[in-house]
Amino acid sequence: DAGVTQSPTHLIKTRGQHVTLRCSPISGHKSVSWYQQVLGQGPQFIFQYYEKEERGRGNFPDRFSARQFPNYSSELNVNALLLGDSALYLCASSLLGGSYEQYFGPGTRLTVT
């Protein structure tokens, strides 16, 4: 079975631009979560979506937004990019969200110059 897929793998953007990252969950999984991981640190929770509704939000500015589509895939959008947004962005899918195991995609490496 296919795991969680993310696109693109790598991305280089300039300060002030916006970016859209995409995630396809494991087939049958209805929940998608997004995380930001800066080098040397653990993943930081950004959003969780379940059945196309936002279930949770981390301590990130409003420049960060996301949505989940009817096929349960998801997009993470970041506007007005800052140098500090450079990080690995991870998507994780789970069957029902909450206390269910999460399976991570390979991530999108975003570099902001």
Q: Which residues in this chain contact other proteins in the complex, by CB under 8 A?
A: 33, 41-45, 48, 55-58, 90, 98-107
DSSP single-letter state for residue 83? G
- The least CB distance from residue 2 to other proteins, in Å, is 15
CA distance 32 to 36: 14
DSSP single-letter state for residue 69? -
CA distance 58 to 11: 23
43: left (phi over 0), alpha (psi -120 to 50) or beta: beta
- The least CB distance from residue 104 to other proteins, in Å, is 4
User: Given the complex with other proteins, which of 64 and 104 has the nearer CB atom?
Assistant: 104
User: Given the complex with other proteins, which of 14 and 39 has the nearer CB atom?
Assistant: 39
User: Given the complex with other proteins, which of 30 and 58 has the nearer CB atom?
Assistant: 58
- The least CB distance from residue 11 to other proteins, in Å, is 16
CA distance 49 to 76: 11
CA distance 86 to 41: 13
User: Given the complex with other proteins, which of 14 and 41 has the nearer CB atom?
Assistant: 41
- The least CB distance from residue 106 to other proteins, in Å, is 6
